[in-house]
């Protein structure tokens, strides 16, 4: 009996490259025990890093799904914080693969939602969520603050998953309180147009802290996001207030994304900052501002907000892509605008 098919997965950031395998015939296709992590600077190309993984593990794969932290433009992607330029055709040829799929890392975060279990999420607020089979149509929103602010959707129709990539992080910031109007005025003097990403990401927390300090007549000096969270944990009132503003604004724009996408089945909070800020999110105005949508407030109160705490959401999403592209009943991703060579 032949071994079940394996697909090589990758989650490529500016610093680290994570590889693993997927079994596209399994209910949970991501094979966590196959995970390996390498420093991208140690390899001249993605293909070289992938070859190293296959040689080190002895794994055999004929297809791949690679999620990259950068914009995928047709056949090519550039890593935002690393000089690798990745070509689907050249990488596929170098690895001798039959098929290779290149996707944006936040699109993979969206796809990961379809494979999450209750143990992979932490509920924020009182609205409850339970996974639904792919046979049930669902629409989810995904929003994630990290170095920037990612926003996406996941549409499940007739047993298929369709990720919706957006640039929702660059929507104009909508202040919801008098203080937030003042913060907007301060940030406008610095940036001109102020997007949600100017507030809701790591550097955005610094922007908020500087603005609330300025409103209090203080100069906070140069601080990193970790300095603000550390001082907040130690009880610094200005840093605690900056975190409160951050969480409230985050909740407001997460609710806006739900309304925009019609994501009545839930919103998943992703990104590197979410696990670190989870206690703050749970004890802040996040959920109040999420629900505070005028005539839609009763509807919003029923929509779950869930922090994704899976340790490898990018690889999990790549595994979901692998099932769609290389599993039974393959989805035509070319028709959906996803670059693939197979």
5 and 21 co-located in one domain: yes
User: What span, in angstroms and rounded, lies between the C-alpha atoms of 190 and 27?
Assistant: 50
Residue 14 in marked binding region: yes
Give pLDDT, residue 340.
41
Residue 74 in marked binding region: no
**What DSSP character marks residue 172?**
B
Residue 217 in marked binding region: no
Give pLDDT, residue 70.
79
Average pLDDT, the chain: 92
The neighbour count for residue 171, using CB atoms within 10 Å, is: 17
Assess if residue 60 is contained within a domain. Answer: yes
40 and 76 co-located in one domain: yes
pLDDT digits 0-9 by tens, 24-42: 999 899 999 999 999 999 9
284 and 329 co-located in one domain: no
322 and 191 co-located in one domain: no
3-state secondary structure of 85: strand
Give pLDDT, residue 4.
63
**What DSSP character marks residue 196?**
G
181 and 289 co-located in one domain: yes
> What residues have CB less than 8 Å from 68, skipping those under 6 apart?
10, 12, 77, 79, 86, 102, 103, 104, 105
Residue 3 has pLDDT above 70, yes or no: no
Tell me what the mean pLDDT of segment 220-237 comes to: 95
pLDDT digits 0-9 by tens, 300-337: 999 999 999 999 999 999 999 999 999 874 443 433 34
Tell me what the mean pLDDT of segment 203-207 comes to: 97
Assess if residue 151 is contained within a domain. Answer: no
Assess if residue 115 is contained within a domain. Answer: no
Residue 79 in marked binding region: no
Give pLDDT, residue 335.
38
> What residues have CB less than 8 Å from 33, skipping those under 6 apart?
none
175 and 304 co-located in one domain: yes
Give pLDDT, residue 165.
87
Cα–Cα–Cα angle for 309, 312, 317, rounded to 5 degrees: 100
Give pLDDT, residue 73.
83
Give the count of domains, the chain. Answer: 2
Residue 277 has pLDDT above 60, yes or no: yes
pLDDT digits 0-9 by tens, 172-192: 999 999 999 999 999 999 999
Give pLDDT, residue 78.
80
328 and 318 co-located in one domain: yes
Tell me what the mean pLDDT of segment 186-207 comes to: 97
Give pLDDT, residue 333.
40
Q: Which long-range contacts (CB under 8 A, 24 or more apart) does 201-204 make?
A: 201/145, 201/146, 201/147, 201/148, 201/149, 201/169, 201/273, 202/145, 202/146, 202/147, 202/272, 202/273, 203/147, 204/145, 204/149, 204/246
302 and 322 co-located in one domain: no
Give pLDDT, residue 242.
97
Tokens linked to 295: 């005539």
Q: What is the CATH number of the domain that holds 76?
A: 3.30.420.40
User: What span, in angstroms and rounded, lies between the C-alpha atoms of 11 and 333?
Assistant: 19
Tokens linked to 339: 């670059």
Phi, psi dihedral angles at 292 (to 5 degrees): -80, 80
- The domain of 242 spans 168-308
Tell me what the mean pLDDT of segment 271-300 comes to: 95
Strand ranges inside 113-244, DSSP E: 121-124, 138-145, 149-157, 160-165
pTM: 0.89
Assess if residue 66 is contained within a domain. Answer: yes
Q: What is the CATH number of the domain that holds 263?
A: 3.40.367.20
- % of the chain surpassing 70 pLDDT: 94
Strand ranges inside the chain, DSSP E: 6-12, 16-23, 30-39, 63-68, 72-73, 76-78, 85-87, 99-104, 121-124, 138-145, 149-157, 160-165, 267-269, 305-308, 340-341
Residue 161 has pLDDT above 80, yes or no: yes
């Amino acid at each position: 009996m032949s071994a079940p098919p394996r697909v090589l997965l990758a989650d490529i950031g500016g610093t680290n490259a994570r590889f693993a395998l997927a079994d596209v015939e399994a209910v949970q296709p991501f094979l966590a025990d196959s995970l390996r992590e390498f420093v991208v600077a140690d390899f001249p190309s993605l293909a070289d890093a992938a070859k190293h993984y296959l040689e080190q593990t002895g794994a055999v794969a004929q297809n791949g799904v690679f999620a990259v932290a950068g914009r995928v433009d047709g056949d090519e992607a550039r890593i935002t914080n690393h000089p690798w330029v990745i070509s689907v055709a050249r990488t596929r040829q170098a690895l001798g693969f039959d098929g290779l799929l290149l996707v944006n890392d936040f699109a993979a975060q969206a796809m990961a939602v379809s494979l999450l279990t209750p143990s992979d999420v932490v509920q924020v607020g009182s609205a409850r969520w339970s996974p639904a089979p792919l046979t049930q149509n669902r629409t989810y929103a995904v929003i994630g603050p990290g170095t920037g602010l990612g926003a996406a959707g996941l549409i499940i129709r007739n047993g298929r998953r369709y990720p919706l990539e957006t640039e929702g992080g660059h929507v104009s910031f909508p202040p919801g309180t008098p203080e937030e109007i003042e913060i907007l005025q301060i940030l406008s003097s610095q940036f001109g147009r102020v997007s949600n990403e100017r507030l809701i990401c790591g550097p955005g927390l610094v922007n908020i802290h500087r603005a609330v300090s300025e409103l209090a007549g203080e100069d906070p000096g140069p601080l990193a996001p970790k300095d603000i969270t550390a001082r907040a944990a130690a009880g610094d009132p200005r840093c605690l207030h900056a975190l409160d503003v951050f969480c409230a604004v985050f909740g407001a724009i997460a609710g806006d994304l739900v309304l925009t996408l019609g994501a009545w089945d839930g919103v998943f909070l992703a990104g590197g900052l979410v696990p670190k800020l989870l206690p703050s999110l749970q004890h802040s105005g996040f959920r109040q501002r999420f629900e505070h949508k005028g005539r839609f407030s009763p509807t919003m109160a029923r929509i779950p907000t869930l922090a994704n705490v899976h340790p490898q959401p990018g690889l999990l999403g790549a595994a979901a892509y692998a099932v769609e592209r290389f599993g039974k009943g393959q989805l035509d991703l070319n028709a959906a605008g996803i670059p693939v060579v197979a």
